[in-house]
Amino acid sequence: MNNSAEIDMTDETKSRILNAAGPIFAEKGFAKATVREICRLADVNVASIKNYFEDKQGLYLQTVLFARQMRADRYPMNVGEKASEPETRLYEFVSSLLRRLMALNSAPWQVQLLVRELMKPTEACRTIVRDYFQPAFNGLLLEVDQLAQRLLSDAERLKIGFSIIGQCLHYRFGSEVVSLMVPDAIKHEFTVEQLATHITHFTMAALRNEHSALSCRE
């Protein structure tokens, strides 16, 4: 029940099962993955699942937590801390996020599995958000605070953060629809770099004169 507990990896067989289940769950998801395929890859008998994880669900949960354990220490998004100009730091963040989203298929299985858990949450989602996604998102929120030209409330800061990543996510999770909506003639204007530029400009402009804009109009 305690999702924060470390997973015991001393057992050789258990470790083989988890390392085999990871890529398979990451690629196919819980429903389409089969214990037989996992056990074949791990070179263990199917009865071992019952022995170590009770059932398929238990195995999945442990696999997700195992992936989180291997990834919790690294921040998946870097906010380009080297650059001093706020705008270029935001651009670094956005383009980095877009690039990771587009290349998700070639990402390590741990990342794929965690993202899958975020998109279609099960029991483990709470832990994943707290230990994996939240830290990265907080990095963005810090940046938002520096970009805003006034003190932001917690809700305002969050909504702005959501607006930024929201502009990115659908290019991945609605990619087929996006691709159908963009005519071939202008597809070359939708590279990661150009999308990142657009989102950065859009966001900067929104933050810049949020209220003072009225005095600027006309």
Partner DNA sequence: CTAACAGTAAAACAAGCGTTTAATACACTA
Partner DNA sequence: TAGTGTATTAAACGCTTGTTTTACTGTTAG
Residue ranges in contact with a second copy by CB under 8 A: 31-32, 118-119, 121, 125-126, 129-130, 133-134, 137, 153-156, 158-160, 162-163, 165-171, 173-174, 176-178, 180-183, 186, 189-190, 195, 198-199, 201-210, 212-213, 216-217
DSSP calls for 72-93: TTS-S-----S--SHHHHHHHH
CB–CB of 4/68 below 8 Å?
no
For DNA, the closer CB: 33 or 124: 33
Neighbours of 142 (CB within 10 A): 12
Is residue 49 at the binding interface for DNA, with CB under 7 A as the rule?
A: yes
Distance of closest approach, residue 171 Cβ to DNA, in angstroms: 32
Distance of closest approach, residue 32 Cβ to DNA, in angstroms: 8
What lies within 8 Å, CB to CB, of 75 at 6+ separation is: 135, 136, 139
DSSP 150: S
The interface with DNA within residues 15-44 (CB under 7 A) comprises: 33-37, 44
Nearest partner of 25 among 114, 101, 105, judged by Cα: 114
Residue type for position 55: D
Nearest partner of 133 among 204, 84, 67, judged by Cα: 67
For a second copy, the closer CB: 50 or 172: 172
For DNA, the closer CB: 16 or 198: 16
Is residue 57 at the binding interface for DNA, with CB under 7 A as the rule?
A: yes
For DNA, the closer CB: 40 or 170: 40
First vs last C-alpha separation in the chain: 60
**Residue 73 interacts with which of DNA, a second copy, none, CB < 5 to 8 Å by class:** none
Distance of closest approach, residue 214 Cβ to a second copy, in angstroms: 9
Residue type for position 73: D
**Residue 135 interacts with which of a second copy, DNA, none, CB < 5 to 8 Å by class:** none
Distance separating alpha carbons of residues 70 and 89, to the nearest angstrom: 27
For a second copy, the closer CB: 37 or 156: 156
Distance separating alpha carbons of residues 141 and 139, to the nearest angstrom: 5
Q: Tell the residue number behind the tokens 């003190």, with chain if given.
A: 151
**Residue 46 interacts with which of DNA, a second copy, none, CB < 5 to 8 Å by class:** DNA
**Residue 9 interacts with which of DNA, a second copy, none, CB < 5 to 8 Å by class:** none
Q: Which residues bind DNA (CB under 7 A)?
A: 11-13, 33-37, 44-51, 55-57
